[in-house]
Structures are given as structure tokens and as C-alpha cells.
């Protein structure tokens, strides 16, 4: 079995059409058919069901897809490691980012890493929470940042950053008469919230805070980015709820933020990694995250 067999298999598994898969591989259909037959003989199993209704994966084929993707991830990792070594790096930390990591904190960590250990390469991967958890378990990533602590077995989630929930409103909203806005006043208006598909942990935290109020809320839109949220808020669709650090980056004169009255709810970010003993350079990265947190501007308060 060679890598060309696996490339042919994964192309057909994703296209489920011999002609399209062959075109994607820049080969004729007949070589692709031979490749698949050779692979099926190698495994002693039918990987595709071919019929007049089309091509589909068999159950053994579906099982193989996940393993083949891991193989190609390992190959790509090896290529990246060699390129990093050629560039002079002596180690690598692979960092997964989900749920809109706080840019101010991330930039502080990256700056400290470059200053204190420039020979260690930091690779960043923006992925969904589910991809991050799977990647941490399958050794595709070393650590990750997310807004969820529901990580399951084999992973550790440590709270590292906490930032207040804040309110974003259009420039002529009636609530701007208040310097600190009570949550119950906010909930009288339609809300623009983050989509749980793209901001899983952040959405879960905000939704829990809303459930705790025991008020029926009106959600007019769920968005996948702060930029879309701000556009809808500026257009008057509703009020946005987001973390204070994210809103601090907003430069629009059409959006004004207000803190919530009383002790504002805190949104928590977590550092995720496996339970195994960390390598030396990975432990130093984790220590820098903690150091940046201690030296921060006081956004971390209390327990999660």
C-alpha cells in the first residue's frame, strides 16, 4: 500500500463520484479504479458500493476514512516539522483556537514566547470546539483555548481569563441614558447573540446567564462573528451581548457599549491540554499563559 492508494481513496470518499475524483487527482478514471481495487484487495474488504444509484462508502470504507485522514495529518505534520527545523526552530507548540479567543491576551502570550524562546515555533489553528477536542485527543494539537470546560475524559480545562459581559447598543438607543444597565432592562429588547455552532462555549455561558434570569428573551439573530453582530446592532436589529475585551476593539461610532449594573457576569476562557505529562517547552508555554494572566489588567475575578 502506498500513499497514492490513500490519496485515491480519500478523493473518492469525499467526491463519491469516480469522474470528479479522477479530475481532482489529475488522472484518468481507469487508473483510479485500479487504485481502489488494489486497496480493497490489500484490506480484503469492499470499501465502496457501486450501483446505478451512484457510489457510496461501505461501513469498512467509513471506518477507513478517519484513519486515512489521520495518516495525512501525520504526513503534513512531518513536513511542517522538517520545514521548521530548516528554518532554525528547535521545537513546536501547536495551539488550537476556538470560540473567539481574546486577541489582547493572545498577542501578549505570543510576544512573550518570541522574546523568551524564539527558537520554539508557535503554530495557530482556528477550529471549531469539536475539532479542537478531537485534535487534542489525536495529538494534532498540543494545547487549545476555548470558552467551554465540558471537554470529557482525557483532557484538562483550566480557567485562565475572565472578562465581564457587556452590552453593545446602537448610538441612539434609549438605554444609553444609563451609565450601568440592569440586565432586566436589557432583556426588554431583542438580542443579537453568537451562534452556538461557531461559538459553542461562549454561547453556552451567555445562554446560561440568560436562563438564570428566568425571563423570556427575544433573539432576533445568531451570528458567527463579532463583526456581523456589530453590523446588526448598528442597524438597529437588537442589542448585542459579548465580552468586554471583544467590544474594546470596536472603533465604530455607530456602536456604544455599556457595562451591566451591579457585579457584572464574567465570561471564562479555558486553556485545554491532555492529561499526560507535558514536554518542557510545552510546560513553559503553559507557564507563560499563567504569567500573562497574573500580569493582566484585573479581568480575572473569582471562580468560574
- Quick: pLDDT tens for 65-96: 888 888 887 787 777 767 766 666 667 889 99
pTM above 0.75, yes or no: no
> What is the grid cell recorded at 185?
432592562
**Which residue's entry shows cell 476593539?**
249
pLDDT beyond 50 at 273: yes
Q: Judge whether residue 300 has pLDDT over 70.
A: no
How big is the chain, counted in residues? 304
> What does pLDDT average to over the chain?
85
Q: What pLDDT does 298 receive?
A: 42
Q: What is the pLDDT of residues 150-209, one digit of tens each?
A: 888 899 999 988 889 999 999 889 999 999 999 999 999 999 999 998 899 999 999 999
Amino acid at each position: 500500500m502506498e500513499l497514492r492508494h490513500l490519496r485515491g481513496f480519500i478523493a473518492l470518499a469525499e467526491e463519491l463520484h469516480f469522474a470528479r475524483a479522477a479530475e481532482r487527482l489529475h488522472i484518468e478514471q481507469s487508473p483510479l479504479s485500479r487504485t481502489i481495487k488494489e486497496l480493497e484487495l490489500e484490506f480484503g474488504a469492499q470499501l465502496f458500493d457501486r450501483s446505478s444509484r451512484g457510489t457510496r462508502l461501505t461501513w469498512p470504507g467509513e471506518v477507513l476514512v478517519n484513519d486515512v485522514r489521520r495518516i495525512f495529518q501525520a504526513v503534513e505534520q512531518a513536513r511542517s516539522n522538517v520545514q521548521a527545523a530548516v528554518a532554525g526552530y528547535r521545537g513546536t507548540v501547536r495551539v488550537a483556537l476556538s470560540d473567539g479567543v481574546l486577541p489582547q491576551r493572545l498577542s501578549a502570550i505570543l510576544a512573550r514566547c518570541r522574546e523568551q524562546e524564539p527558537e520554539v515555533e508557535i503554530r495557530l489553528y482556528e477550529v471549531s470546539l469539536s475539532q479542537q477536542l478531537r485534535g487534542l485527543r489525536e495529538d494534532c494539537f498540543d494545547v487549545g483555548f476555548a470558552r467551554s470546560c465540558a471537554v470529557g475524559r482525557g483532557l484538562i480545562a483550566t480557567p485562565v481569563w475572565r472578562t465581564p459581559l457587556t452590552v453593545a447598543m446602537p448610538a441612539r438607543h434609549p438605554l444609553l441614558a444609563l451609565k450601568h444597565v440592569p440586565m432586566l432592562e436589557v432583556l426588554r429588547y431583542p438580542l443579537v447573540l453568537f451562534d452556538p455552532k461557531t461559538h459553542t462555549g461562549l454561547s453556552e455561558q451567555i445562554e446560561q446567564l440568560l436562563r438564570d434570569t428566568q425571563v423570556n428573551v427575544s433573539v432576533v439573530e445568531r451570528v458567527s462573528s463579532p463583526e456581523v453582530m456589530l453590523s446588526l446592532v448598528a442597524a438597529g436589529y437588537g442589542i448585542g451581548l459579548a465580552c468586554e475585551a471583544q467590544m474594546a476593539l470596536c472603533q465604530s461610532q455607530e456602536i456604544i457599549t455599556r457595562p451591566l449594573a451591579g457585579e457584572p457576569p464574567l465570561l471564562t476562557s479555558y486553556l485545554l491540554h491532555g492529561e499526560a505529562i507535558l514536554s518542557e517547552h510545552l510546560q513553559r508555554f503553559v507557564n507563560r499563559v499563567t504569567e500573562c494572566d497574573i500580569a493582566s489588567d484585573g479581568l480575572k475575578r473569582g471562580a468560574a
